[in-house]
Structure 1
Amino acid sequence: MVPDFIKKTIDILAKRAAYKCSNPDCRVNTIGPNSDPEKATTIGEAAHIFGAREGSKRYDLSMTDSFRAEITNAIWLCRNCHKLIDTDEQKYSTNILFAWRAKHEEFIASDLGSITDKILHDEQTLNLKSFDNYPPIVKRIIIDKPNGWEYRLTAELMKFLNTPLFRKLKDLKNGLYIKELNNVDSVNALNWIQNRLSELSVTLKPAIGLLDLLTKSWGKPGEPGDVQEIHHATKLIKNYLEHIIVIEEKIHFVNVPEEYEKLVYLLKNLIGSQVEKLSSIPYDLEEILTLLENTENENDLPKEIRKELVFEVPNNWEKEFNNALNKLRHK
């Protein structure tokens, strides 16, 4: 799929902007009469917020072409302002352009729209209040609701909320930060290990429930998803990851007698390496969206797409752990 806006997207974008440039310092009318009575002259253009092609301004390599071509990634500008935003990428960042569009739509609703338009806009603003501290693209997805918006919203929320936590798990695994060691003596070492094992044994169960909650938040086939439920599920995943990091830190930053070190070694990253698989969710969803878009005009459009995350311990882990444990018990 090419990352260009289709005519329908351009027409809707122009109408939402009331054919005015969305730059709040400009707001020039972009449509007017033509010498031909059957035509109109337009100086307005649908500009990409994230660049359409590699090498263009504000290009994001991780974004799919289909998303680049969505109305969510568009802003209506006059030709001069379109050229302006591509002359200084630092000044006219994606955040600035998303803010321009939001401010412009607020201006259209309050200054040019009806009282009902103003009421609806105020209601929408109130509903979006809980997303004030999120990247602007999150609000834009919720407002525009492009095709597959449930998956796009989930991907953006997962990236924003959880990418730092997955990074911390990776840093912990690679030994890139330290904390004060917990010294456990030989009298308490076995009990400490059994407690950690008990913690780990119940930790994976919530992951299954969280994934089920997330998929349900997208709605049944043919039905829209629920913004607040998607938000709730992704926040719960964030809380879950924070708990996993606490457990992994307990295991990484402990000092036990030498004979117990093998058991501690086997416990390290056992749960962390499994939940790291959740980090693939945003990219899996983007793959699904691309697949759906590539087949949307085909008669054999798939009714259901499955993506499985398998949580399992490494090969022979249980055998190694039990052998090490038995050696201790027979001493």
Structure 2
Amino acid sequence: MSIEDRFKQSVIATLAKRAANRCANPECGAVTSGPAGEPNGSVNVGEAAHIYGAHPSSARYDEKMASSDRGAITNAIWLCGNCHKRVDDDPSKYPPGLLFEWQREHERLISEQVGKTAAEVRHRYERRHLEEFGRLSYLAERLIIEKDAYWEYLLTAEVLRFEMAPTVQRWDALKRGLYTRPIKRIDRADTFSWLSDKSQEILLIVAAFSNLTNFELARALGEPGVAGSDVDIVSVCRLYGEACSNTLLWEESVRFTRVDDDFSEVCELFIGVAGEVIEQTAKIPKFLTEMIALRPTSGTYKLELMIDLPAEWEKRVTGALKRAERAFRR
């Protein structure tokens, strides 16, 4: 376990206070601190538990998380020692989503006891605000509510991962030949039109990713020193997810389509092009989490993504089409 995976003392102290030193397991709720035998002493049986595990052999470990995310308070829940052991010994019975629900409900109850009216108003606002987003991961919801330091970047990374994950997993399965689609055969007379449409579609796909990365993402994150918009961040991330899904559909369409042998060279140039775009885009969450792990206070960080077609791809496709056309006219 790296130092970043662990909870800092400041995180542990804040977590204990937010939990009022009570176990967040709703079936327990045990007081976790109290007086020791000597007048100046105290005892503590509470522990800061990781929701997503801190290292590969720990419960609920997620290899896609950055170390800084694992050691953040957004990945923490306050439990007594017994409950901590119980949830880590049986992670299938105590999955991350359940622990996030425990944490959220526990803090809600504590807030009501501290200041009932203010807490009720706050929680009404939180519920209404989260309703605007629809389905999100538990971690994304917590980032939106907490809005700790660097929240814009952490939220972007988390929502991007969440929205792109099904497509990234599906693309990996496609590369490994783990599924297929019904084969579609294009009539010889319609092949030129089909190939032309596919060429235009991939150019539009690349343009969409470029615009999202170069303009919309920066706009949602906000100008330096100005807080970003959680609504805009989620919206842009979902556009990425939609673009990735459409990109995979394009890749499937060219892989599971058969054309006359005269046009096979062109089709082979199409294979894998869209998948590369997906892989490049999947680098964004990793870049953001690694950047935030440094806890920067100033400076410039540059991400270069080759969201583009292979070198001279258009030229090669044009040449292959001309050769196909000559063969077609013989």
TM interval, shorter chain, is: 0.7 to 0.9
Question: 2:34 and 2:177 mapped to 1: Cα distance?
Answer: 64
2:305 to 304, 309, 319: 309
2:52 to 50, 53, 64: 50
Residues 243-290 of structure 1: CA distance to partner in whole angstroms, max 9, x if unpaired? 222333332232222211212222233333223310111212222122
Question: 2:236 and 2:228 mapped to 1: Cα distance?
Answer: 12
| Structure 1 residue identity aligned to 2:186 | V
1:232 to 213, 235, 238: 235
Contact 1:75-1:101 at 8 Å conserved across structures:
yes
Q: Which runs of 4+ in 1 moved over 4 A?
A: 34-40
Question: 1:280 and 1:122 mapped to 2: Cα distance?
Answer: 36
39 and 217 in structure 1: CA distance in 2 versus 1, 3 angstrom threshold? farther
**Which residue matches 1:221?**
224
Contact 1:71-1:146 at 8 Å conserved across structures:
no
Question: 1:94 and 1:68 mapped to 2: Cα distance?
Answer: 12
- 1:120 is displaced (CA, Å) by 0.7
- 1:4 is displaced (CA, Å) by 2.8
| Structure 1 unaligned blocks of 5 or more | none
Number of residue pairs aligned between Structure 1 and Structure 2: 324
**Which residue matches 2:189?**
187
Residues 178-206 of structure 1: CA distance to partner in whole angstroms, max 9, x if unpaired? 33333322222212222222222322111
Structure 1 window deviating more from structure 2 (115-124 vs 86-95): it is 86-95
SS at match of 1:32: strand
SS at match of 2:273: coil
Contact 1:109-1:121 at 8 Å conserved across structures:
no
**Which residue matches 1:108?**
110
1:247 to 229, 234, 250: 250
SS at match of 2:89: coil
- 1:241 is displaced (CA, Å) by 1.7
147 and 269 in structure 1: CA distance in 2 versus 1, 3 angstrom threshold? same
| Structure 2 unaligned blocks of 5 or more | none
1:1-331 maps to which residues of 2 (within 5 A)? 1-34=3-36, 36-130=38-132, 133-211=135-213, 212-290=215-293, 292-293=294-295, 296=296, 302-330=298-326, 331=329
Contact 2:157-2:285 at 8 Å conserved across structures:
yes
TM (norm. structure 1) is 0.87
Structure 1 window deviating more from structure 2 (256-265 vs 176-185): it is 176-185
260 and 57 in structure 1: CA distance in 2 versus 1, 3 angstrom threshold? closer
Contact 1:34-1:41 at 8 Å conserved across structures:
yes
Structure 1 window deviating more from structure 2 (213-222 vs 26-35): it is 26-35
Residues 94-123 of structure 1: CA distance to partner in whole angstroms, max 9, x if unpaired? 222211111111222335532111111121
Contact 2:51-2:60 at 8 Å conserved across structures:
yes
| Structure 2 residue identity aligned to 1:310 | M
SS at match of 1:204: helix
Contact 1:31-1:42 at 8 Å conserved across structures:
yes
- 1:219 is displaced (CA, Å) by 2.0
Quote the sequence identity (%): 33
